[in-house]
Amino acid sequence: MLTRKQHELLMFIDRHLRDTGFSPSFEEMKAALALKSKSGIHRLITALEERGFLRRRAHRARALEVIRLPENLAPRAKNAARAPEAPLGPNVIRGPFGTHAPTRPAPEAEDNASVTLPLFGRIAAGVPIEALRDNGASVAVPASLLGTGEHYALEVAGDSMVDAGILDGDTVIIHRAETAENGAIVVALVDENEVTLKRIRRRGNSIALEPANPRHETRIFGPDRVKVQGRLVGLLRRY
């Protein structure tokens, strides 16, 4: 699952390679995506590399190679005509959360009962990635993991929270909330566009989103750029 910008960049690079035989420049990519700086393009390319869509050839300028396209796109011949691309869906977690509030079992059944929670797609524990609501998807969760309030589940993509015991492919249980204590692991909405799972730290007038993997960097934002959408309360893993 890709963010809207990641998808746009991947398709632009693929079209450019097919039309010209070489990859576009960073300036061309920045203009095509209407971004203000090349640093945004660097982040998008890194994210596409990590997810196995792109490869950079070492020691060569403008040497990007498309490894694969999103699974919902049929393979094309090199010079085949391209069908119009379908519009992308929303790129933040949307409600209606209230209609999915779990029903609590009777106290005597609490230990063995399970509750069905809505599964709202995949969330990045690496470079932020959009979490799209997956209509109809759900997951059964032990009732003992839940407290009061509304909850939902997300599948983790990436490795930036491994030192907190959160691995790629895990399912995290999130208590819907708009605030969280300093140091909590939260679902954070960045710039009204992308969501990510990180530890939140408030430092004066800034907000830091910290990974739990030394290979990933802490990102710092102004207070108006980050909104808490939930707090981690549990984790499920299949072996």
pLDDT tens across 60-87, in order? 556 788 988 886 554 443 344 343 443 4
* Torsion angle (degrees, nearest 10) of CA 190, 194, 195, 196: -80
Q: By 3-state DSSP, what share of the chain in percent is helix, strand and coil, each rounded to 5?
A: 20, 30, 50
47 band by pLDDT with thresholds 50, 70 and 90: confident
Residue spans per domain, the chain? 4-66, 97-236
Q: What is the CATH T-level fold of the domain 4-66, as seen in this structure?
A: Arc Repressor Mutant, subunit A (1.10.10)
Pairing mode, if any, of strands 151-157 and 114-124? Answer: parallel
Check for a shared fold between 4-66 and 97-236. Answer: no
Average pLDDT over residues 21-37: 85
Quote the pLDDT of residue 72.
57
Would you call 160 a catalytic residue per the annotation?
yes
Q: Are residues 217 and 153 in contact, defined by beta-carbon separation less than 8 angstroms?
A: no
Quote the pLDDT of residue 49.
83
Q: At the top level of CATH, which class does the domain 97-236 belong to?
A: mainly beta
Would you call 198 a catalytic residue per the annotation?
yes
Quote the pLDDT of residue 133.
56
Amino acid letter, 148: T
Say if residue 145's pLDDT is above 70. yes
Give dist(CA 225, CA 203) in Å, integer: 14
The rounded mean pLDDT for the chain is 78
Average pLDDT over residues 152-165: 90
Quote the pLDDT of residue 94.
47
From the list 37, 160, 206, 227, the catalytic residue is: 160
Query: Mind listing the pLDDT tens digit for each residue in 106-137?
Result: 544 444 578 888 887 777 766 554 545 555 67
Portion of the chain with pLDDT greater than 70, in percent: 74
State both tokens at 28.
Answer: 């061309």
Average pLDDT over residues 172-179: 91
Q: Which residues of 113-145 are buried (b: 16+ CB within 10 A; e: fewer)?
A: eebebbbbbbbbbbbbbbbbbeeeeebebebeb
From the list 5, 23, 30, 198, the catalytic residue is: 198
Residue 129 is classified by DSSP as: B
Quote the pLDDT of residue 220.
94
